[in-house]
Structure 1
Amino acid sequence: MRKHPIRTALSIITAVTVASGAVALGSAAPASAYFGEAEISPIESDISEKPWAGVDVSSGASTADLAIDQDDGTAWMADGTSADQWLTLDLGGAYDNVRKVEVVFPDAGAVYQYVVESSTDGGSWEVIADHSANHQPGRGSVDLFTQPGTRFVRVAFTGASPGATLGISELSVYNYLRDDLILGADASWVDNDVAEGRNYWVSPNEEDPGAGPHLLDVLQDRGLEYIRLRVFNEPRSESSGDVLPVPYQGPERTLEVAEWIKAERDMGLGIDFHYADSWADPAKQPKPRAWAELEFDDLTQAVYDYTYDNVGQLIEQGTTPDKVAIGNEIINGFMYGSEAALIGTTDPPYFRDQPEIYQSQPGGGLLWEYWGSEDPEEQRLYEEAWDRFTTLSAAGVQAVRDVSADHGEDIDVEAHIATGRGDKALEFWDQYLTRLNAKGADPDVLAHSYYPEWHGSPDHIEGTLNAVAAAHPDYKIDIAETSYPASGGGGAPMPNSTYPRTVQGQADALQHVFRIANDIPNNQGAGVLAWEPARWQSMFTAVPGMTQTWEPNASIDVFNKSHATHVVEDTVYTGAQVGGEVALPDSVEGMTMADGSNEPLLVEWDPVPDGATDTAGRVTVHGSTEYGSVTAVIDVVDTNAALDCDRVITGRHTGPLTVTEGVTCLDGATVSGPVSVRAGASLQADGAVIGGPVRADGAAVAVICDSRISGPVTLSGTSSVTIGNPVLGCGPNTINGPVTVNRTHGWNVIAGNTISGPLSCSENAEPPVNNASTNTVSGPKSLQCRDL
């Protein structure tokens, strides 16, 4: 879309910088007791940037998208000058933890009056902030609010200073990490860690080393709340297929490790059944040896019995899992059998070398190479493979449902895939859920692995997850595995990533994944698990001189520093004229996330630099509060926004003047005779001398500045009225006669004037204001003008 330039009086930018804390607290300070350094700020995400966000407007639809294009040099422009305009941002779904709205307007030096509202359904609205009484120039505002389930945010204009462009340059709505988004890890190797005598400490080089030496103690201390355990049926060597001497990650060992997690530490517990004796992933899904030669119906029963029995044992020992995954990374199916010859898989070696055993009976492998085939035989094979796969899956799902019900528990069921192709993911879930539902089974969570080197950029996986969420809104979405290295490759980013392989890059990459899950509309994102953070692309570093001892990288704090404790009104927009004074507020609003309460926060501002208003431009001044930094954005203008004149009269005009259309400007003119303004037309008088009454009926805008009028002034049904307004450079007037202002729809200022006669105002949408410039009136001030 062609960008629509906006009018601006800015010609220079001046910046004053002061170091201060994060805007949304937690702390952004580097961790010092760990290996390396990482600055980690709480997650704050602008949902208006997302491709699923959209806008609706009262007018000017051709420029509407410019209000959310992340460029405040462009803007949505409403049609006409009527203040009855609005823009609604649709976030694409409900959000429970959006807390901040920022709106930026097109014109520097203008005054905007408006109301910011939120809604869960687009029908009923709650006021976030009412700026309808604003009379100070400033290009925008930041407002804080709490409304779980917010989907829509609307900015509705109630008025604007004369000449202001009605529109919005940017509307941003910020989302923060939800408390119910689970952050944890698959730490299945903790069983090996304990057996091998590996020690983990938060600060092993300190006098008080903190949590440790058990890995789970360190993870819990650093903010991880959930641990997933993979389960092999009968753990075997991936190369030889021989039974391992110690059955790590087998069912019996899983029972013990589950007690470490649940009984001893009260952490969340996930169980990830591989339904294999060794690694199961998209490249290999071998059947367990004990099931390899079973006929298909018996295999289905074995899946049910095994799942029921193992989950039952976990429940009975008091370690009920919170979630159970039926298979691991099952994008290509699982428990491969005779169909492997068509799939073409050759791993693991024992599966390849013993086809008479492992490939003797049908299994649950999928035949993606026949997806979309027009060959009837290939399509038949494709459909049959899906039927077998979902029959086995349904057996696992039903086993969890049955054992949960039999013990009075409520355990979530997860299906978990890994793919870099969005179309394949959508086809998988469409086929899987349709067929599973037809068999009377249904999971709760649709989980995905995400490793950039295999699955694409963060933007790509975000697009895939949101397409899946939109297609299947009744399910939660998990990122069941992710990781990012802190070293290697000379620090160069991993493929499909922009983050360096450093401790800081590791923190930033992981936090980006947290943000992706948290930003899925309708709060469908359920959680993110780092995969084996002490072993794979590790978040730990061996401590020199200390045998079998590891300390966390500073990036480990991404789990506990990604939550905001407070949100601050972090930007203040104001204006000043060239040569004028800059006034900054003593306080801004701060919100406590835990209860949604707001309180004023005192601001300690840096000094405004000398000469800040000597020339037109933008000045930024930084300040700090108890809970974060603040920036004042000061637009310095030569003149404030004014009407664009269609007709300009200077010098002397003899006889009556009737304005029938457009904008007529009296620039130092002398008019002998009455002035009348017809419906829809506008008048701007600056330094004029008018010998006769001034009357406007249904006019669009009437602006009278620094003028002398001999005769009454009667303005009725006008959309916008200004009779003097020194705060915006509209000088006071001298009026010899009564002044009557009735039925004004929007902007209404009568300030600083000397009026020889009564001043009467009635039936205006809002009472006129004087912006602290009292009018001197020789007659009575009545009705809505009595306080002017």
Structure 2
Amino acid sequence: MIRKHPVRTALGVVTAVTVACGVAAFGPAAPAAAYFGEAEISPIESDISEKPWAGVEVSSGASTADLAIDQDDRTAWTADGTSADQWLTLDLGGAYDNVRKVEVVLPDAGAVYQYVIESSADGGSWDVIADHSADQRPTRGSVDLFTQPGTRFVRVTFTGASPGATAGISELSVYNYLRDDLVLGADASWVDNDVAEGRDYWVSPTEEDPGAGPHLLDVLQDRGMEYIRLRIFNEPRSESSGDVLPVPYQGPERSLEVAEWIKAERDMGLGIDFHYADSWADPSKQPKPREWAELEFDDLTQEVYDYTYDYVEQLIEQGTTPDKVAIGNEIINGFMFGSEAALIGTTDPAYFRNQPEIYQSQPGGGLLWQYWGSEDPEEQRLYDEAWDRFTTLSAAGIRAVRDVSADHGEDIDVETHIATGREDKALEFWHQYLTRVNAKGADPDVLAHSYYPEWHGSPENIEHTLNAVAAAHPGYRIEIAETSYPASGGGGAPMPNSTYPRTVQGQADALQRVFQIANDIPNNQGLGVLAWEPARWQSMFTAVPGMTRTWEPNASIDVFSRSRASHAVEDTVYAAALVGGEVALPDSVEVLTMADGSTGPVPVEWDPVPDGATDTAGRVTIHGSTEYGAVTAVLDVVDAYAGLDCDRVISGRHAGPLTVTEGVTCLDGATVSGPVSVRAGASLQADGAVIAGPVRADGAAAVVICDSRISGPVTSSGTSSVTIGDPVLGCAPNTISGPVTGTLWWNVIAGNTISGPLTCGENTRPPVNNGSANTVSGPKSAQCRDL
């Protein structure tokens, strides 16, 4: 059974997710400098285990499974029974091509854990990410780097743990990074106004070398934008009077020229956004073009097809084939409103309201949301008929793009673009829309949404909505076609539904959060993010004092070039030490190169360990640096390493044989005048003991012998865990007659003085000495030959 967070399609409150900009993983976040302030910008990393669509499955201990991904390392999933072969699988909710780092945090600071981490695309075939099955030093966790495109599942399987360790996981995190194919760009349609008005844009206008410019597109491209969208008004008109504008900004002819600036001259991606209106079209207003306003519906449908086909063909023929075409702009309420406006109640724009005999004379494509879910048959009929008209018009536009693409041998994506802050409305829209346009023989490629927090809610709200849409319609790409955030105003207070201040830094952080949302949609469905009019609306540019009609970019604009990681670093090192002991930190950590997936060591320069760091038990953080960024060592200082909890303690003298039948029996400085037997499921821990006779364990849970003298061999058959000396973990060596062990997983024989031969066989894993060789008077053989 898989235990999940709330599913993607659920309504209601969602978990807040913070953008993790991995300073420690990618290199120092150098400030991006500009006239209007600075911004700390680091590549984005995001822990998918935090997402509400992630879930876990475990081998046992299911009641605590979710604690492994609750973002609180003070809680833990704990397995039932032995540590061996227990596992936990994290389901990321879909495949990801650019998850590159996995972090495991374990429950006991003073224990040794042995485990293997694997990844899988389907839960059936697994690839090893990291093998910690030979680890012998106590540590509370690990950070491992990997490259496995298509990863959906990550599994941790325990192969062993030191005696007394709690089998479980405090936190399992899998980190995602921006894909190279995530499109980052902007709607910069006003660029034709900019050129006509003589506006100059420079990267650094006050420097001797001002950098890219003066064309806005040069600066946008230089700052990392790779794609530009253009809105198209049919016949640009005044929004108030409806009169034709003397200069047809964003009209078809002018936009053909702008397309050449974008595609032919700069080789940037090009998107076309048909408004199918002579002025602004958005959720509150969707007027028909004047030329089409009085057409009967069938003629209107044909005009949509012809106009769309003809304009896209002009773009193709001039060598500026668009990469994507949007059939309408923010059409959550439909588009090309007509006579149904009387029922919708819309009054905007002014000319639409003032000239109803023209603009409202024939049916159009407006939707009647007020009848959604109505039980009145007449209202339901009107609701369905409005949907049918709207999708008939939309299907005509889609078919036109498909036909002109086929006729010219081009591949152009088709987008449908909406804007709403309501998840239920978005899901209803896409269900109705896709069902109906598919029935009419049309289908878009991209389902696009606008996101502005002041109108569409918190980042968590849009994230939940987009993931619900993606889950409901897995065959489509998802795009955030418009977004922006101000760098000033409101005294710096955040915008409604946001936590980011209206500053340059807040602008950068807000946009990076939106990038993260698109990138984290499962199955790589997120296509990209476009900022809306970054030089004009909630601008990412600032006028330069003393330089007429000259603007420079805010430092925040560097999110478009600095949000992708070139490297990932093993940025956290876990270590343990005894109170009063020495601190040992590694000389290097691993670094992964994103471009080719290669990994290798990079030297670490650690800050000095604080004075008295190990004087008392607790946790100490030590900072380090590499050429790729910061590293943190998490040092757990413990009074003693993990050990068995005693159910019975024997000290002093014990006459005759000793048989342990259940629980944990501890010999604390005891003298036993006879053999010791440990039965199935029971455990023995001897420290400073003297045993006159052999020790034998059959199917026991654990046998731990430290600092003891045994007059006979120690033999084991089918025991889960055997420790005969382990100085690394504070288990002092023993003096014994040659042991013969047969264990299932944990098996350490280290530092002992052994009279006679040392032979080992039938161990699932050969014994190890952890660097403390045994002194043996006889031969070493079989699995013990190297001890």
TM-score, normalised by the number of residues in structure 1? 0.97
Deviations 1:283-310 (A, max 9, x none): 0000111101100000000000000000
Distance (Å, rounded) in 2 between the aligned partners of 1:134 and 1:385: 66
1:714-753 superposed matches below 5 A: 714-735=715-736, 737-742=737-742, 744-753=743-752
1:773 is matched by which residue type in structure 2?
S
CA contact (8 A) 1:111 1:137 kept: yes
Offset at 1:25? 2.8
2:380 is matched by which residue type in structure 1?
Q
Distance (Å, rounded) in 1 between the aligned partners of 2:492 and 2:632: 34
Distance (Å, rounded) in 1 between the aligned partners of 2:471 and 2:411: 26
Distance (Å, rounded) in 1 between the aligned partners of 2:364 and 2:118: 55
Distance (Å, rounded) in 2 between the aligned partners of 1:336 and 1:645: 79
1:543 is matched by which residue type in structure 2?
V
Which residue is 1:287 aligned to?
288
Distance (Å, rounded) in 2 between the aligned partners of 1:723 and 1:430: 66
SS in 2 for 1:435: helix
Offset at 1:644? 1.3
SS in 2 for 1:148: coil
Offset at 1:656? 1.5
Distance (Å, rounded) in 2 between the aligned partners of 1:763 and 1:99: 38
2:748 is matched by which residue type in structure 1?
V
1:203-214 superposed matches below 5 A: 203-214=204-215
CA contact (8 A) 2:487 2:503 kept: yes
Distance (Å, rounded) in 2 between the aligned partners of 1:28 and 1:626: 12
Distance (Å, rounded) in 2 between the aligned partners of 1:526 and 1:592: 23
CA contact (8 A) 1:739 1:757 kept: no
Which residue is 2:538 aligned to?
537
Unaligned runs of 5+ in 1: 1-19
Which residue is 1:78 aligned to?
79
1:389-428 superposed matches below 5 A: 389-428=390-429
Distance (Å, rounded) in 2 between the aligned partners of 1:27 and 1:668: 54
SS in 2 for 1:306: helix
Which residue is 2:431 aligned to?
430
Deviations 1:184-224 (A, max 9, x none): 00000000000000100000010000000000000000000
SS in 2 for 1:309: helix
Which residue is 1:775 aligned to?
774
Offset at 1:556? 0.6
Which residue is 1:691 aligned to?
692
Which residue is 1:668 aligned to?
669
Offset at 1:647? 1.6
Note if 1:786 corresponds to 2:785.
Answer: yes
Distance (Å, rounded) in 2 between the aligned partners of 1:745 and 1:436: 61
CA contact (8 A) 2:22 2:45 kept: no
CA contact (8 A) 2:487 2:540 kept: yes
Deviations 1:575-601 (A, max 9, x none): 111111111111110011111111110
1:523-672 superposed matches below 5 A: 523-672=524-673
Offset at 1:173? 0.3
Distance (Å, rounded) in 1 between the aligned partners of 2:33 and 2:458: 31
SS in 2 for 1:271: strand
1:8-47 superposed matches below 5 A: 22-25=23-26, 28-47=29-48
Offset at 1:738? 2.5
Which residue is 1:304 aligned to?
305
Offset at 1:124? 0.7
Offset at 1:96? 0.3
1:225-236 superposed matches below 5 A: 225-236=226-237
Which residue is 2:705 aligned to?
704
Distance change (3 Å), C-alpha of 1:26 and 1:738: closer
Deviations 1:365-406 (A, max 9, x none): 000000000000000000000000000000000000000000
Which residue is 1:511 aligned to?
512
Distance (Å, rounded) in 2 between the aligned partners of 1:713 and 1:267: 74
Which residue is 1:680 aligned to?
681
Offset at 1:717? 1.1
Q: How big is the alpha-carbon RMSD for the aligned residues of Structure 1 and Structure 2?
A: 1.0
Q: Which moved more, 1:412-421 or 1:725-734?
A: 725-734
CA contact (8 A) 1:162 1:642 kept: yes
Note if 1:349 corresponds to 2:353.
Answer: no
SS in 2 for 1:576: strand
Distance (Å, rounded) in 2 between the aligned partners of 1:525 and 1:153: 21
Note if 1:98 corresponds to 2:99.
Answer: yes
How many residues matched?
767
Deviations 1:745-782 (A, max 9, x none): 11110011111122111121221111111111112111
Note if 1:338 corresponds to 2:336.
Answer: no
SS in 2 for 1:282: coil
Distance (Å, rounded) in 1 between the aligned partners of 2:525 and 2:712: 67
Distance (Å, rounded) in 1 between the aligned partners of 2:588 and 2:118: 23
Q: Which moved more, 1:749-758 or 1:198-207?
A: 749-758
Distance change (3 Å), C-alpha of 1:303 and 1:21: closer
SS in 1 for 2:560: helix
Deviations 1:689-731 (A, max 9, x none): 1111110011111111111111221111111110010110111
Distance (Å, rounded) in 2 between the aligned partners of 1:608 and 1:454: 50
Unaligned runs of 5+ in 2: 1-20
SS in 1 for 2:33: coil
Distance change (3 Å), C-alpha of 1:307 and 1:27: farther
SS in 2 for 1:739: coil
CA contact (8 A) 1:21 1:624 kept: no
Distance (Å, rounded) in 1 between the aligned partners of 2:740 and 2:164: 23
CA contact (8 A) 2:27 2:630 kept: no
Distance (Å, rounded) in 2 between the aligned partners of 1:433 and 1:339: 22
Distance (Å, rounded) in 2 between the aligned partners of 1:318 and 1:738: 84
1:467-478 superposed matches below 5 A: 467-478=468-479
SS in 2 for 1:141: strand
TM-score, normalised by the number of residues in structure 2? 0.97
1:18-167 superposed matches below 5 A: 22-25=23-26, 28-167=29-168
Q: Which moved more, 1:32-41 or 1:472-481?
A: 32-41
CA contact (8 A) 2:24 2:571 kept: yes
SS in 1 for 2:31: coil
Which residue is 1:765 aligned to?
764
Identity between Structure 1 and Structure 2 (%): 88
Distance (Å, rounded) in 1 between the aligned partners of 2:112 and 2:338: 72
Offset at 1:82? 3.9
1:754 is matched by which residue type in structure 2?
T
Q: Which moved more, 1:753-762 or 1:40-49?
A: 753-762
